[in-house]
Structure 1
C-alpha cells in the first residue's frame, strides 16, 4: 500500500481563493491559531515538551505520572507522540457540554477543527467534536469489532458527508490493531503469527500515510478536508477488506461447539486411552486435569473448542479471495496475505516431505502424529499400526475408498461446516494431501531403518508458496523420491518377493511334501485335544519336515515359520467375521445378555477342539517388512492355510480308509450275508463320494484360485511403482483368494462347514468300520444280525447328513450366476459328485 504524500500531488488551492490578500491572510492566521490552541493547550509547540500527554479536556499537569511516555526531549518534535493517550488516563468527558457549538464558528474554522479531530480518530483516539459512539463501553465491547465514532451534530452539513465517509477508517484501524495484538499470542500458532506480521506491515504503511497527512496539516494552509478524503479513500477500501477478514477469523471460533467438543472429549479415542493409561490418570483425577486444561484453553480461544489456526486460517483467506475475485484490490490483498500466512505452513510441509520430520508444535499441519505408537510396538508384536495410525491426516480421510471413521477427528464448526484448526485442509492442498502424508511416512520408515534422509539442497533456499506451480512440482518430486527409495529398500535390500514366495509355499501348500511329512510325523500328537498338544514337540517335528524338504530360498526363511494353536475353530471364526451384526453393535438390554449367555453355554457344551483343527502356522518378519507382511495379512494367510490343511487332513483320512477297504474283510464275497454285503457297498460308495468332494474342493482352491491369483500378483509386483500400491495389491490378492475359496459368504460357509465336518467325522470311524467288517466276516449270522442293524443305522445318518448338505452345490450355483463368476469351474466339478447320489 503506497500512500500518497501531499508534496507529490501537483497543483493546490489558489492562494487568493477569490479573496483579497488581506482577507486571506486574516483567515489563514485564524485557522493556524485554532490549530495551535487545539493541539497544545499549554502554549506553542516549541515551548511545550510532549512529556505528559495531558488530556485535551483540560487535565492538569498533576497527572503527568500516569502518562504512557516519560518526558524526554527527543520526543518534542515527534508528531504522533502528542496523540498517544495513557490507558490509565482516559478522558472523562468532563466539560464536553461546555464546548462551543460548531454552528457558531465560521466554516473554515469548523474544517480546521474537524481536520484536527480526524487525525486523532484515524489513530483510534477520541477527538473533541468527533467522539466515541454513546453506546461504546471499553469493558463490554469486543475490541475485534472496532470502535465506532460519531461526529458532533452541530457540524456543518457540507462537511458532515465527508467526515462520515472517513470515520469507518478509525473503526477499521482499531479493530485490526486489536486483532494483531490478540492473535500474536503464542498459542495461536505460526500461521496466525505470520498473518499478523503481514497485517502489521500494512499498518505501518497506513501510519506512514497518517504522518504525512499530519505534516501537511501542520505546514500547509492549503490542506483541506477534501484533500484528506482524496488521500485516504483508497486506504478505506483496503482496511475494510482486512477488517472483514479479521471479523470472519474472529467469529469462526465456534462457541456453540462447546457442547459437542465436551461430549466428544468424554468418549476417549484409542490414542487418548493409551496415553492416559501410560500416564496413570483415570477417574476424577483425569477429569480434574482435563477441566484445568480446558479452562486455560478458554482464556485463549474464547471457547473450549479449537482456536482458528493453521490450515483453517489459510482456508478462510483463500475462500474470501475466491469470493471476491472480481475485485482486483481484494484479489491482490488476500493473495499477499495468503502467501505471507502460508510461509510457515509451507516450511513445515517441506520439512515433512523431504526429511520425514513433523515439526508442528501448535498442531496446525494437516498431518497428525500419534507419538505413543513407535517402533517398540512393532518389535514386540509387529502390527500395521505403525503404518496406518502413527501418522494420519487430521481430517480422518484415507486413501482407500472406504470412509471408515477415525478416532480423534474434531467435529466441524457449526457455522460454515469446516473442520477446525489443522484438521481443515487448505483447498489448494486438498488433492495433494495423501501424497503429502505418504511422502513423510515413507521417509519415516527409511529413517527407522537407520538410513540417513537429507534435504535437497538445490531447493532448500527457494522461496515457495501454495499459489506457485513450483511448490506442487516440489511435492511431486519429493513424493516420487521417497516412494522410490522405500520401494527399493523393500524389494531389493529386504528381499520382499522371496519372502512372499516362501509364505505362498508354506501357507498355500505349494510345497505339499513338507505338510504330508508333518502330518505323518505328528499324527499321534494331532489326535489330542488342542490344549493338551505340545507346541514344542510340534515345532521340532515341523523343523524336521522343513529340513528334509527345504531347498533353495526355503533354506533362508524356514526358521521364520512357527507352529501355533488357534483358540477358536476355523469355521466358527469365519462365521463371526462374515456375520458382522452378531459381533459388532449387538442388541442392548435383556435380549443381548440372554443371547450372550446362550452363546457361552454352547461354548461350554462343545467338545474340546482337536489339535488338528487348531493347528496353524505363524511367520516372523522384522521391520520394515512388517509393514507389508503385517498381522492383518498374516491372519489372512492363516485362514487360508487352516482351510487347506483341513481339506488335506480329511483327504488323507478318507484315503487311508480306501487303503484299508482293499483288505480281505472288505473284498471277500459274503453270499450268506447279503445285508452285510450291501452295507459294505454303501460304506465304499459314501467314502468314494466324500473323497471326490474333498479332492474337487482342494483342487479347485489350489489350481484355480490360489495359483492364478498368485501369478497375477507376481505380474503386478514386477510393475509396481508405489509402496501404497504394493500394500494394496498384496491385501487385494489375499481378499480375492478368501472370497473365491468361499470363505466370505455366510450361506456358502455354513453348508460347506457342515459337509466337511461330516466327511471328517466319517473318516474318524475308519478303524471302527474295519473292525466291524472283520468281525462280521469271521462271526456267525445270528450274532451279526443284531449288530448289523446298528451299523446300518449309523451309516444311514452319515448318508442323510451328506446328501442333505449337498445343497452347498445349489448355493455355489446361485452365487456363481449372481455374484462370483469364478465359482463356475467348481460347479462343474461338484456336479460329478452329485450325479452319484
Structure 2
C-alpha cells in the first residue's frame, strides 16, 4: 500500500508540473479528495513563502498591494473540496504575515530609518530564518513522507502561526506614516533618475545621512506639521513595542516575543545613553536619541549670549519638555502627537521606560559636556553601563541615577569650590547691590566731574582708573573685617561700561512692549505699537546723544567658563539694572546733600524779620529739598534693607543647601528677578512715576546755585527804595517744582498702595516709609 501511494504521489507531482501554467485551476472538483489534498499541500508550501500556487492565487487587487505592510492576500479555488477548505483557510494567513514581515524588513533596512529600526529588522530576520527552516523541513517531509497530510502541516505550523500573527500586528502599528514610503524609494527607477543620483553623489548631496539631515530640517520647519509625514523611528519604535508588550502581558507567547524584540531594538538606544551619560558625547548619526544638539550654539556665544541659549538651547529634549519650571520658552520644531495613539512621532517620542528619567539623562550629559570643556578628567569606572543590561532591568536605571548624581556632584563642586562661585556672587553683591557702601560714595566723589560730561566726552579709561582707586580704598578699609576679604578677591573682574540709553527710558520701553509686571501695555495683534516704537527709535537714532555720564554709567563683570553659565550675560544685565537704579538714587541723594550744604551758607542763614515773604520762600525751598531727600533716602533704605539684603540672605541659605546644578541656576535667577520686581522695575506705571520724581529731584538740585543767586539778589533789592519787585516770579518758579513733585509723588504713593493691598505684600514696608512725605 505504501509503495502504491508513493507511486501515485510521484505521478501526481509529474502531472502537476506538466500542467502548471496551462489550466491553473483545471477541473479540481473532478479530482478525488486525497489527490486534492496532495495538490493543495504543494500550493501551501509556496504560499508559506509568499508565492502563489496553482490553486491558491493572489487576490485580484494584489498588484495594488504589492510591497504593502499589510502583506499579500490569497484566495483558494472555489472548486476545492469543503472538507479541506477550513484547514487551508487557517494556514493562508501565514503567507500574508510572512510577506508583510519581509516587506517591513526590506523597507526599514535602509539607512534612513536609523539604528533602532535596523536592530528590530535584524531580530525579525532571525525569527523569519527559523520560520524558513521550518518550511524547508515541511517541504522535505512532503517530498519524502507518503503519510504527510494537511492536518500534519497545520499541526507543525500552529505554534508558528501565533508568532507570525503577533509580528504582523506589530508591523501594522508602524504603518501610520507616509514619509517612510517616500524615503524608502532610494534606488533610481529610470536612466534620468540614475543620472540625477550620480550627480548628487558627485556633488556630495547623496547618502543616507544627508537625506536624514534634510528630513530633520523639514520636520524642524513644521512646528505643528502633519504627524503622518514623520517616520516611525527612534524612541517611537521602542514605545510601540513596549505598549504591545504591556497590552499582551497576559499572553506568555506574546510577552516573550515582544520582550525579545524590545531587548534587541533597544540595544542601539542603550549604547547612545551609555556614551551620553559617561562621556557627554552625543553619538546619534540618524537623530534617534531623545536629546538633540544645536551645533550652532557653542562656548563662544557666551560672551554675547543675553538669552542663556548655551545652557537652555544647546542640548534639549526632543519632546520639548524643560528641566526647570522657570524656563517657559517655547521650543520650535516639536511636532504634535499622532491622532490615533497620542504619541509624539519619531524621535520626539521618549520610550515609556525612560520617561521618568529623561531629565536626568539630559542633565547628566549637559553637566559632563561642561566638565569636559573645562578640561577636568572624570573617573568613569563606576559609571560603566553593562551591555547586558536592558531597559527592563532595574539595575539599568540605578546606573543612570548614579551617573546623573556623579555628574551633578562633580560640576557642583567645580562651580562652588574650584571656581569659588559664592565669592564671585558676594563680589557682585558688594559692588553692584549696596548703595550705602563706602565704595559707591567714594567712587562718585572721585568721578563726579567726569560723569557730569556728555556721553561722547567721557573717558572710559579715566573712569576705570577712578573705579580701581575707589575699590582699592574700599578693600583697605575692609581688611579689619576678615569676613569681607573674600568679597573683594575678584574686584579686578569689575569693569566700567556705558549703556546705550537711559535706565528709565529703556525699562519703560521694555515694560510697554512686553507687558512686564502689572500695568504694562501689551502690543496689539496688528503690530501698531511695534511700528510706532520703530519710528521712535529711528528718530532717536538721528538725534545726538545728550545723556550725561550719570545716566548711562554701568558696571560690567568679566568671568570665564564655566562661571559664565551662572553669571551669564543675561544675569549680568539684571545686576546692571539694579546697580544703575541704586546709582541714580545715590547720585540724587548726593546732589540734594550738596544743596543742603550750600543752604548752610550766609545768605541762607541770615534772618530777615522785615521780609517775611522772603523767609517763607526760603523755608519752602528748604522744606521741598528735605522732602525730596527723605523720599530718595527711604527708597534707598527700602531697596537695600527690605529687598536686597533679605533676598540675599535667602539666596545664601539656598546655596549652602543646593543639591543640583539646575537648582543653583534657578535660585540665582529667582533672586535677581525677585529683587528687580520688588524694586518696582517691572511695572510701567511705577517706573514712569518714579522716573518723573527722580528727574524733578535732580533738576531741583541743579538749580541750587540759581536759588542762592535769587536769595542774594533779593537781599540787594530789599535794600533799595523800590524793594524786591521779582518775588512773584520766584514763587512761580518754585511752585513749578512743588507742583510737579507733589503730583507725581501722589500718583506714586497711590500706585504703591494699590499694589501693596492687592497682594504684593513686599511693598507694604515702602508704604509705611513714604506715607509721611506727602503734604
TM-score (normalizing by structure 1): 0.82
1:807-830 Cα offsets, whole Å, 9 max, x none, are: 212221221222211211111111
Q: Distance in 2 between matches of 1:833 and 1:734?
A: 29
Question: Where does residue 493 of structure 2 map in the other structure?
Answer: 560
Q: Would you say the 8 A contact 1:575–1:746 is kept in 2?
A: yes
Contact 1:257 1:305 in 2 (8 A): no
Cα deviation for residue 294 of structure 1 reads 9.3
2:187 matched residue in structure 1: none
Within the candidate set 545, 569, 581, 2:502 is matched to 569
Q: Which residue is 2:33 aligned to?
A: 107
3-state secondary structure, aligned to 1:143 = coil
Alignment partners' CA distance in 2, 1:288 and 1:312: 26
The match for 2:753 among 813, 816, 823 is 813
Q: Secondary structure at the match of 2:332?
A: coil
Matches within 5 A, 1:33-44: 33-35=11-13, 38=16
After superposition, the Cα gap between the structure-2 partners of 1:509 and 1:413, relative to the gap in structure 1 and judged at 3 Å, is same
Which whole-Å CA distance do the structure 2 matches of 1:236 and 1:121 have between them? 13
- Higher alpha-carbon deviation: 412-421 or 518-527: 412-421
What residue is the counterpart of 1:751 in the other structure? 689
Is the partner of 1:96 in helix, strand or coil? coil
Structure 1 counterpart of 2:666: 728
Aligned residue number for residue 515 of structure 1: 440
1:297·1:304 contact (CA, 8 Å) conserved in 2?
A: no
Name the SS of the counterpart of 1:127 in structure 2. coil
Query: Any conservation in 2 of the 1:397–1:403 contact (CA below 8 Å)?
Result: no
Distance between the aligned counterparts of 1:590 and 1:703, measured in 2? 42
- Shift in alpha-carbon separation, 1:756–1:543, aligned structure 2, 3 A: same
Aligned to 2:314: 390
**Please, which of 442, 450, 453 is the counterpart of residue 528 of structure 1?**
453
CA offset digits 1:718-755 (Å, max 9, x no partner): 11111110000111111111111111222222222222
Alignment correspondent of 1:30: 8
Q: CA deviation at 1:141?
A: 3.2
TM-score (norm 2): 0.88
CA–CA distance in structure 2, aligned partners of residues 719 and 637 of structure 1: 23
2:48–2:94: 8 Å Cα contact kept in structure 1? yes
Distance 1:231 1:438 in 2: 52
Aligned pair in 2 of structure 1 residues 457, 208: CA closer, same or farther (>3 Å)? farther
Residues 772 and 407 (structure 1), Cα distance of their counterparts in 2 relative to 1, 3 Å cut: same
Q: Aligned partners of 1:129 and 1:257: how far apart in 2? A: 35
SS at the partner of 1:144?
Answer: coil
Q: C-alpha separation between the residues in 1 aligned to 2:157 and 2:102?
A: 18
Mapping 1:472-621, distance limit 5 Å: 472-509=397-434, 512-551=437-476, 552-581=485-514, 587-588=525-526, 593-594=531-532, 596-598=534-536, 600-601=538-539, 608-621=546-559
Structure 1 position 589, deviation (Å):
6.8
- Please tell me whether residue 795 in structure 1 is matched to residue 734 in structure 2: yes
Counterpart in the other structure of 1:469: 394
**Structure 2 residue 765 is the aligned partner of structure 1 residue 825:** yes
Are residues 1:118 and 2:44 paired?
yes
Taking structure 1 as reference, are residues 288 and 315 closer, same or farther at Cα in structure 2, changes over 3 Å only? closer
Q: Is the 8 A contact 2:427 2:489 kept in 1?
A: no
Match of 1:78 in 2: none
Aligned match for 1:804, one of 740, 743, 748: 743
Equivalent residues, number: 730
Counterpart of 2:567 in structure 1 is 629
8 Å CA contact 2:651, 2:668 repeated in 1: yes
Q: Which runs of 5+ in 2 are unaligned?
A: 184-202, 220-225, 477-484, 516-520
What does residue 117 of structure 2 align with? 192
Separation of aligned partners in 2, 1:590 and 1:720? 46
Match of 1:660 in 2: 598
Q: Secondary structure at the match of 1:392?
A: strand
State yes or no: 1:644 paired with 2:582: yes
Other-structure match for 1:354? 278
Quick one: which of 96, 99, 110 aligns to 2:23? 96
For 2:696 and 2:642, the matched residues in 1 are separated by 25
Alpha-carbon distance change, 517 to 304 in structure 1, aligned in 2, over 3 angstroms: same
How far has the Cα of 1:652 moved from its partner? Answer: 0.6
Return the alpha-carbon distance in structure 2 between the equivalents of residues 377 and 747 of structure 1.
Answer: 35
Q: Is the 8 A contact 1:354 1:454 kept in 2?
A: no
CA RMSD of aligned residues (A): 3.0
**Alpha-carbon distance in structure 2 between the residues aligned to 1:633 and 1:474:** 35
Q: CA deviation at 1:31?
A: 2.7
Distance 1:288 1:354 in 2: 33
Structure 1 distance, partners of 2:755, 2:769, is 15
* Distance of 2:491 and 2:182 partners within structure 1: 57
Alignment CA distance shift 1:784-1:820 (3 Å): farther
In the TM superposition, residue 348 of structure 1 has moved relative to its aligned partner by 0.3
Deviations 1:329-374 (A, max 9, x none): 3232222212211111011011101110110000000101111222
**Which of residues 771, 787, 791 is equivalent to 2:709?**
771
Aligned mates of 2:241, 2:212 — CA distance in 1: 28
CA–CA distance in structure 2, aligned partners of residues 182 and 288 of structure 1:
19
CA distance in 2, matches of 1:589, 1:495: 46
Give the C-alpha shift of residue 227 in structure 1.
1.6
> Is contact 2:308–2:568 with CA below 8 Å preserved after alignment?
yes
CA deviation string 1:278-308 (max 9, x = no partner): xxxxxxx9x999xx9699869x999994422
After TM superposition, give the deviation of residue 770 of structure 1 in Å: 1.7
The reply on whether 1:316 has 2:269 as its aligned counterpart is no
Q: Give the CA deviation at 1:233.
A: 2.2
Quick one: distance in 2 between partners of 1:738 and 1:380?
22
Change (3 A) 1:639 1:396: same
Query: Aligned residue for 2:166?
Result: 241
Structure 1 residues 586 and 608, CA gap change in structure 2 (3 angstroms): farther
Match of 2:300 in 1: 376
**Secondary structure of 2:57's partner?**
strand
Q: 1:37-116 alignment to 2 at 5 Å?
A: 38=16, 57=20, 94-96=21-23, 99-116=25-42
State yes or no: 1:452 paired with 2:377. yes
Structure 1 residues 491 and 581, CA, compared in 2 at 3 Å: closer, same or farther? closer
Of 784-793 and 473-482, more deviation after overlay is shown by 784-793
For residue 432 of structure 1, report the CA deviation from its aligned partner: 1.2
